[in-house]
Structure 1
Amino acid sequence: MTLSHPDNSTQERIFAFLTDPTTHPGVTRIDTHAASVFLDRDRALKIKRAVRFPFLDYSTLEKRKAACEEEIRINRPLAPQIYRRMVAITEDRDGSLRIEGDGPAIEFAVEMTRFDENRTLDHLAKAGPFDAHLATAIADAISASHAIAPRVEAPRWIETLPALIDGNSEGLRRGGHVSTTEIDALAQASHDALLRVRQRLEERGRQGFVRRCHGDLHLGNIVEIDGRPVLFDAIEFDPEMASIDVLYDLGFTLMDLLHHEQQPAANGVLNRYLATTEVENHDALGVLPLLMSIRAAIRAQVLLAKQARPHAAESTILKDARRYFRLAQVLIDPPAPRLIAVGGLSGTGKSLLARMLAPLVPPQPGAVVLRSDVIRKQLFQVSETDRLPPSAYQPDVTARVYDILAERARRVLPQGHSVIVDAVFAQQSERNEAAALARACNVPLSGFFLVADLATRQARIGSRRDDASDATREVAELQEHYNIGDLDWAIVNASGTPEQTRDRCRIGMAGDR
């Protein structure tokens, strides 16, 4: 197959052919700055536009062909159900155009299976809160992509960060929609934050956490197909732009969930990701405020660039851009962390309370939840829902579980991130160790001990499904005889609704500041 070199007018002829109602009825065309997408009933064709920007070059047919091949290579492992193949647009001797005809190729397209565009997560986020199952699935999809992402040299990415911060500032200044003083303050705060975390980022590079990632994981590039989130449209035009720390990749999704007012989902994604990836990620949470702030600033300036008339009346796009900018400001200046300990006998609702409180505990996207039941399962290298034998609950094993909880918290709190520890805390020594941990990390401690009658606890235990806890009704009855000792934590009546328990603890946390 020979190649010819069309100019822009030839591309427009191809685009007209693909939308001709006599040959392609019902086709819809969507244009972006770098591509035109043609949507049919069950197929989408994506053609690279004959353009050249500082960050990409599609100016020749050879380059567009290579870009199509690279897009499929990068995205098919993430979304095999979407990315089919590359097809040629050919020209017959009489000048007529065909898809995969016998004439020379004058253009190439990525052929994809069309999905429901209303099922991208940015659309779903507008319909209501994401549930915990979706948050878990999002985190699992991202962690799976990071597990197969090739490791790359770190210094190049880290060296680009100062220029990226300055580039955001330059883009935000265009049009005069954002205060120059605020832009400069954000830039200075970002540079200061980079100085604080640069050594950590460099260490993560040496540990292999800089990888060839998706690179553009905002909610519009994640779609729900058959009930599961699928990552698509990863960056293919610039390997360096997508060669980043995995937390920078994750941070885009976390930031965008916050922007779309999906804070519980953002917290759920973070906690699931931390629970299923390398433990060293707990040591790097201090880099998240900067990385999420940079992502928010990028989205703000991208939207500002779409504002067609610089001095037009405030539009939806402009409002959205300003919200992203405000989020960038908030994220770069996180409040101090705190330690929250949630104790109580089995069935009092500790784990549900911890999950409900976590999104509400600053800094964003909320506290890291450390659950004793999960740690115990990890200690024995089984899945969370596998049942452990009674020997796994001997005092020496339980002591080891509490040691691991404290060790994980010691990793997170110095990073400036809050922690919620979810465990029974039936022993005075266990509660004393939580207090000592808070003092060592110089953070306030809020301790809550939940109480509920035996019948309530046993009913809740009986209703559990697919949970990490191995507690039974019999265990709950045995716990009635525990000698809890003197409680210097807030005793919280947890016999009512989860929301009532949460609100009582929120009042208690406000008093502990």
Structure 2
Amino acid sequence: MTDDSAIQARVFEALNARPGVKRIDTHAASVFLDGTRALKIKRAVKFPFLDYSTLEKRKAACEEEIRINRPLAPQIYHRVVAITEEPDGSIEIDGGGRPIEYAVDMSRFDENRTLDHVAKTGPLDAELAPAIADAIAALHARAPVADGTAWIASIPALIDGNSTGLRSGGHFEAAEVDQLDKATHRAFQRVRATLEERARHSFVRRCHGDLHLANIVLIGRQPVLFDAIEFDAQMATVDMLYDLAFTLMDLLRHDQSATANAVLNHYLLTAPGETLDALAALPLFMSMRAAIRAQVALARLRRPDADGPGTLDEARRYFELAQALIRPPAPRLIAVGGLSGTGKSVLARTLAPAVAPQPGAVVLRSDVIRKQLFQVGHTERLPPSTYRPDVTALVYEVLMQRARQVLAQGHSAIVDAVFARETERDEMAALARECGVPLNGLFLVADLATRKARIGGRRGDASDATQEVAAQQEHYNIGHVGWATIDASGTQAQTLQNCRDVIAEGK
């Protein structure tokens, strides 16, 4: 045992002896929970990716953790505190004696409120998805821009490192690991030029770096990001989509596909438009993140307190997810039309998570596009002048353009608009032919009373349609629909199932 390890062992023993203290260990830190306080001490270890072997390095790492994480979670992170040896040989927190260790002084939160724990109790609250996306988008907006050359050059080595880790211990079939390795390298080569272009346009930044669900905690009802990588700036300097991909992947792993899809779609509302042109990289990024989590689980098997069967099952589930994500199925185009109040937007949102490839279709909504064109908030009402025919034509043009972008990236799109004109529906069919993807056109119908009741019950929605507008739409000349006509007068679940049946039957 080194001197640093021996001294640290004394510190840990002293802290453990305090009444009511709970200790949590990871490979690189030990956290001591005492009432409402948490002290996080870097362990005196040295790995290829971090070095905490000296007191000076551990102090610097604590200071960097505060610098990186306090802006994300000021309610959690406070300061660096010294652990001191007093003249009588006792060990104190922030005493007047000689510093022999340093800790990150934090407020304790409910460990059962991290999203990995919450996700195990059932579907996440629908309101959480936009809040998660907003928190990640806010982090990315203020993250320092970095030179992306090193990040892109490091990706092949990251893939190789994943493969080496997955081969260790012989827990997975060597042939399966080799197949994943080859598929991942091929996927990187397909999107490398896109990633280089994104690096030139400031999409590579000093991000969080470790955004799996265990590093997002609910405080009150708000998701708070914490424990961003502080020990290696290069490891956290990545494409913003790679940062987001960790959260999306882990939501999928925890059977939260609806939340994963909603997080992606909400993030895209705030992200620069060029993000649509990088969706082809998402399968690669999510697969790499899943492989990393599989490795982390395998590494835990070597700890004496490991739950062998449970940990190995976790590793296998992440490994299987990495395999599935790297081979995304072909995309499709779905168009959801119907008069106001038929439930188009609700259907689009609920249908999207199940539309491959994962984490589901990108939803493009005419109401949102219109608000973006006039640079107002999604729930801010627009005047009637913004619904002139020429403006509406522009809205459909933008919908077509964005759907084309999404499909070109190998991702599915759901376009949500009234589609009252035959020409608008014909344009969707032409787009599907141009992109070589199947089209499912769904036209929802419901009686006027039902539509008015739904419109009257809306709160905080992007649609400006009123009950008067609904009545006026009764006089529209819809013409030959040409799409599957769906009775949407029943429950949302019934409408969803009717549409799934139509899609499955290829109608």
State the TM bucket, normalised to the shorter chain: over 0.9
Distance in 2 between the 1:39 and 1:325 partners? 33
How far apart are residue 96 of structure 1 and its match? Answer: 1.3
Shift of 1:132: 2.1
Q: Once the 2 structures are TM-superposed, how far is the Cα of residue 306 of structure 1 from its aligned partner?
A: 1.1
Match of 1:45 among 39, 47, 64: 39
Query: Partners in 2 of 1:276 and 1:457 — Cα distance?
Result: 30
In structure 2, how many angstroms separate the alpha carbons of the residues matched to 1:9 and 1:50? 9
Partner of 2:419: 425
Q: Mean alpha-carbon deviation: is it higher for 87-96 or for 223-232?
A: 87-96
Aligned length: 505
CA RMSD of aligned residues (A): 1.3
Q: 1:185 corresponds to which letter in structure 2? A: Q
Other structure's SS at 1:341 match: strand
Q: Distance in 2 between matches of 1:313 and 1:32?
A: 14
Q: Which amino acid aligns with 2:181?
A: A
Asked if 1:460 corresponds to 2:460, the answer is no
User: Cα deviations across residues 461-486 of structure 1 (Å, max 9, x unaligned)?
Assistant: 01111000111111100000000011
1:8 corresponding residue in structure 2 = 5
Could you say which residue in structure 2 is the equivalent of 1:205?
A: 199
The equivalent residue for 1:55 is 49
Query: Which residue matches 2:117?
Result: 123
Partner of 1:283: 277
1:28 aligns with 2:59: no
- 1:282-340 deviation per Cα after TM superposition (whole angstroms, max 9, x unaligned): 11000000010000011011101111389x99611111110100000000000000000
TM-score (norm 2): 0.98
Q: What residue in structure 2 maps to residue 435 of structure 1?
A: 429
Distance 1:81 1:6 in 2: 35
Is the contact made by 1:6 and 1:61 (CA closer than 8 Å) also made in structure 2? no
CA shift, 1:512, in A, is: 2.5
Once residues 309 and 454 of structure 1 are traced to their aligned partners in structure 2, the CA distance between those partners, rounded to angstroms, is: 64
1:383 matched to 2:364:
no
User: Is the 8 Å Cα contact of residues 301 and 308 (structure 2) preserved in structure 1?
Assistant: no
Q: Which amino acid aligns with 2:173?
A: S
What is the rounded CA distance, in whole Å, between the counterparts of 1:101 and 1:259 in structure 2?
A: 45
Residue of structure 2 equivalent to 1:304: 298
Runs (4+) off by over 2 Å: none
What letter corresponds to residue 361 of structure 1 in structure 2?
Answer: V
* Equivalent residue, structure 2, for 1:324: 318
- 1:481 maps to 475
Q: What residue identity is the alignment partner of 1:136?
A: P
Q: For residue 375 of structure 1, what is the amino acid of its counterpart?
A: I
1:93 aligns with one of 78, 81, 87 = 87
Partner SS for 1:446: strand
CA contact (8 A) 2:188 2:284 kept: yes
Instruction: Give 1:101 deviation, angstroms.
Output: 1.2
Corresponding position of 2:232 = 238
State whether structure 2 residue 389 is matched by structure 1 residue 392: no
Shift of 1:131: 2.5
Distance 2:168 2:430 in 1: 51
8 A Cα contact 2:4 2:55, kept in partner = no
Displacement of 1:195 in angstroms is 0.7
Report the Cα distance in structure 1 between the residues aligned to 2:344 and 2:5, rounded to whole angstroms.
63
Tell me, in whole angstroms, the C-alpha distance in 2 between the residues paired with 1:266 and 1:102.
Answer: 49
Tell me the equivalent position of 1:150.
144
The answer to whether the 8 Å contact 2:217/2:223 transfers is yes
Partner of 1:104: 98
Query: Equivalent residue for 2:217?
Result: 223
Alignment pair present for 1:366 and 2:360 = yes
Decide whether the 8 Å contact of 2:450 with 2:489 is kept in 1. yes
Unpaired stretches in structure 2, ≥5 consecutive residues: none
Preserved contact between residue 376 and residue 401 of structure 1 (Cα < 8 Å): yes
Q: Are 2:265 and 1:268 equivalent residues in the alignment? A: no
CA contact (8 A) 1:221 1:231 kept: yes
Give SS of 2:145's match.
coil
Percent identity for Structure 1 against Structure 2? 69
Q: Secondary structure at the match of 1:320?
A: helix
Secondary structure at the counterpart of residue 106 of structure 1: strand
3-state SS of paired residue (1:400)? helix
C-alpha contact (below 8 Å) 2:166/2:294 kept by paired residues: yes
From 467, 485, 491, the equivalent of 1:491 is: 485
Tell me how far apart the structure 2 counterparts of residues 100 and 300 of structure 1 sit (CA, whole Å): 39
| 1:239 Cα offset (Å) | 0.2
SS of 2:44 mapped into structure 1: coil
How far apart are the structure 2 equivalents of 1:283 and 1:55?
A: 32
The alpha carbon displacement at 1:168 in A equals 0.8
More displaced 10-residue stretch of structure 1: 80-89 or 92-101: 92-101
Task: Return the TM-score normalized by structure 1.
Answer: 0.97
Measure, in 1, the Cα distance between the counterparts of 2:143 and 2:302. 37
Q: Deviation string for 1:146-171 (max 9, x for gaps)?
A: 00100101010111111111111111
Secondary structure, counterpart of 1:365 in structure 2? coil
SS in 2 for 1:281: helix
Query: What SS does structure 2 have at the residue aligned with 1:88?
Result: strand
Matching residue of 1:470: 464
Distance 1:317 1:424 in 2: 49
